[in-house]
Structure 1
């Protein structure tokens, strides 16, 4: 590595040149693995739902799975699978804490799971599935559950690895800041380019109340006849378009997986574990006892669950809004891009905010701010150009809590690992960082669920693209109001968090003193 570049990276990460601690090359390798991981996570988290409702047409009018509509079946599949998998995280955390290999306990999973997760990701988007078929829904449901379990086996040890690489809270905070920025960049690439491609395939087939009114006037027919006329004309086009969408998502998944897998191996090869637990592997039951002794971690978990809906507009809900209300699926790329500037600036300022205000109060303040911003967006609305400008400004500002949350939560959990070791003599990285993946999955579950519930409540017909004015307002209200409530609610538990930067440093010093005796 060039000496000037290495010097810049040392300053960025806060590492010591030539020391025995964390070095820039491995810190960067850790971030690159996260960059690739988010290619895979985002294609599933953001697009599997719309693949089901729009490409496989489970969101079409009249489609049922058992006794419920197809769109509601998709909503319950997303929620149920992700919550089921979220509660697998403590089990995986326990497995990580019991893992003993020559490479360490967290690092080897980057190597072991690269190909399994690649295969399961591609399987979720196989283009051979039959549209609207109950058998298709069952098969994809099984594949999705298997994907979720496979992803857990990779994700839990990945985030636990950061505490094994360094125990310096400042360096670890910088490591996680850069890594989360790379993860956000990876997710951003997927969310920007996939909708632009699929939007060009779908936008021209949509129709609105205005189209119906025009046909009523031109042909002298009632609204129902006009609606049926348009539906008949474009239904065949939309069916052909759904077939094209299936192949588009499949090709996107293959390309992203091919790019991501080498990054897993690069992260495995160039990282190093320095701090691990005792040689006696803990049982799952023992790990669960450790979890409930880590009361500071539980506050973060509760906050994360309450905050599950705070960014619902960046998940499936935002994609539905762009596609059916704004009549341009590619606008979803703009929605996600608007969040980036605020998120990027906030991410870069996290170390300064943590030092100036502490992680606790940085977290609380940005979420209260986000709640106020979303409340303003809710009351202003969207149904005029100037209102959309206000909404766009709001999205830029909402990048601030997103950027801070993406980094500070990981750093706070890392601090609670030190807290747990100070309190019990055991670190329990696996079980602790399993809670971060649990938070992420419940957040994605809630986001997807609210998005599809809003889709259903708005009475959108995925086959013809019809949405009424009342349906559009319903979609807006549900997406934004859920975010308002979630932003305010998630700040409350953290008010009771006690692991300040000063206290964490004291605990690390006490732990080191004990080990020297």
Structure 2
């Protein structure tokens, strides 16, 4: 029986966290480059891509909870969740490569190909990441230990982001040698191979310790009733959607912002002049932001203990939104200010990303405490669905907005289009960030409440073993 104060080993924390490095080799590529790839390389209209993203999520509405339900009912010598990470890691990588492959087809054929490959890719993402996310809820019963584990996880996740931001465009140029389509295919193949190795490490270094009550009977209807009567989960799920809308709209717009508005610039630093091509500027912008985000993530546990989890989440999400607004007033030549504002935004977003998943595992404990039943897989699957709703709506909003603003790929843009792109980097994502932060003001699971829940759950589990 796990004691509530038991600490996870450093090996297990790092091993678990590497799974999110692997996931983010895909996730960050989707968020930063997939829309750009589809419009500027693959050759699909922006509005069509927005619709493609939205339709794919309709299937995910069934896909995520199904995977969570299957995982909750799985029993193997390796646990409920770990086997799926290993089984689907390779298919996930293969679909990543196929998604970033440009076939020699007409416009209709390309659209069908994109629809099939993107849907299969997201199904594989679900098959790996629902069990992976649920695994954090059963590694330990200690809420603050899970918060620390979530910090490790998101430092590793941001490290995955650094790899993507620092290497992707270079890999595309290296492998493509002037042919972007070939470059993207091989770049994704390289990232997919690395991801498979990292998923395998996660599988062999982790252990499941928290199990459902012995007398629990898993009925899907009951599990769903518990989920939708779980007020803390509903609030963090809603906040997640708006949090993802903020970050996805902003990040999906970065390449357009630099390519069509900022363009090539010069950075004058300590008497030295550095020439920044738009792609180098964009890459360094994203990379420096991710490094700062890691610092914010590392400090999450300190902020959470001092200000409580919900206040830390709500406050930093609102600060991220507020910072975004100022990008509207920047000129292309304000190079240092562009970097500085991104540093503030990125630091603020670090604790938000960490606490999101730590709080989801708290809602699983809350559900078990309230209902005497535990469905970690379903809760984390539904949570991942909330994340993907934000991911999809964010991508769709950017695609539709670009079309509305009159965007035409690989051409000089009109002043109206440029203004629209700037809005996508500033006011539009900020609105969603403020809404998400406001929702979390009503989140009831304070640190004090979680200590009470953990103590009572441990007592129950000890009684069951007597």
Partner of 1:49: 35
Residue 414 (structure 2) pairs with residue 468 (structure 1):
yes
Q: Which range moved further: 177-186 or 467-476? A: 467-476
* Residue in structure 2 matching 1:498, options 419, 444, 449: 444
* Residue in structure 1 matching 2:200, options 257, 265, 276: 265
Query: What SS class does the counterpart of residue 316 from structure 1 fall into?
Result: helix
Query: How many Å apart are 1:271 and its aligned residue?
Result: 0.8
The count of aligned residue pairs is 445
Residue 152 (structure 2) pairs with residue 178 (structure 1):
yes
Is this contact kept in 1: 2:259–2:279, CA < 8 A? Answer: yes
Partner of 2:18: 32
Partner of 2:49: 74
Is this contact kept in 2: 1:75–1:452, CA < 8 A? Answer: yes
The separation in 2 between residues aligned to 1:146 and 1:72, in whole angstroms, is 21
The separation in 1 between residues aligned to 2:249 and 2:281, in whole angstroms, is 12
Larger CA Rg, structure 1 vs 2:
1
Partner of 2:324: 374
* Residue in structure 2 matching 1:508, options 434, 454, 457: 454
Structure 1 residues 201 and 75: CA distance shift in structure 2, 3 A: farther
Question: What does the per-residue CA deviation read over 1:473-504, in whole Å, with 9 as the maximum and x for residues that have no partner?
Answer: 12112331111101111012111111111111
Query: How many Å apart are 1:86 and its aligned residue?
Result: 4.8
Query: What SS class does the counterpart of residue 245 from structure 2 fall into?
Result: coil
The separation in 2 between residues aligned to 1:34 and 1:369, in whole angstroms, is 25
The separation in 2 between residues aligned to 1:332 and 1:384, in whole angstroms, is 12
Structure 1 residues 465 and 196: CA distance shift in structure 2, 3 A: farther
The separation in 2 between residues aligned to 1:369 and 1:264, in whole angstroms, is 34
The separation in 2 between residues aligned to 1:486 and 1:456, in whole angstroms, is 21
Structure 1 residues 74 and 185: CA distance shift in structure 2, 3 A: same
Query: How many Å apart are 1:71 and its aligned residue?
Result: 2.0
Is this contact kept in 2: 1:83–1:445, CA < 8 A? Answer: no
Question: What does the per-residue CA deviation read over 1:122-155, in whole Å, with 9 as the maximum and x for residues that have no partner?
Answer: 111224343x511111122011111111210110
Is this contact kept in 2: 1:160–1:430, CA < 8 A? Answer: yes
Query: How many Å apart are 1:248 and its aligned residue?
Result: 0.6
The separation in 2 between residues aligned to 1:470 and 1:32, in whole angstroms, is 43
Is this contact kept in 2: 1:422–1:507, CA < 8 A? Answer: yes
The separation in 1 between residues aligned to 2:373 and 2:29, in whole angstroms, is 37
Partner of 2:184: 249
TM-score by length of 2: 0.89
Structure 1 residues 200 and 391: CA distance shift in structure 2, 3 A: farther
Query: How many Å apart are 1:26 and its aligned residue?
Result: 1.8
Is this contact kept in 2: 1:322–1:330, CA < 8 A? Answer: no
Segments of 5+ residues of structure 1 without an aligned counterpart are 1-14, 59-69, 203-239
Query: How many Å apart are 1:113 and its aligned residue?
Result: 0.8
Partner of 2:167: 193
Structure 1 residues 338 and 453: CA distance shift in structure 2, 3 A: farther
The separation in 2 between residues aligned to 1:514 and 1:277, in whole angstroms, is 11
TM-score by length of 1: 0.81
Is this contact kept in 2: 1:75–1:449, CA < 8 A? Answer: yes
Residue 359 (structure 2) pairs with residue 412 (structure 1):
yes
The separation in 1 between residues aligned to 2:231 and 2:448, in whole angstroms, is 18
The separation in 1 between residues aligned to 2:315 and 2:19, in whole angstroms, is 31
Query: How many Å apart are 1:402 and its aligned residue?
Result: 1.6
Q: Which range moved further: 340-349 or 268-277? A: 340-349
Is this contact kept in 2: 1:315–1:451, CA < 8 A? Answer: no
Segments of 5+ residues of structure 2 without an aligned counterpart are 264-277
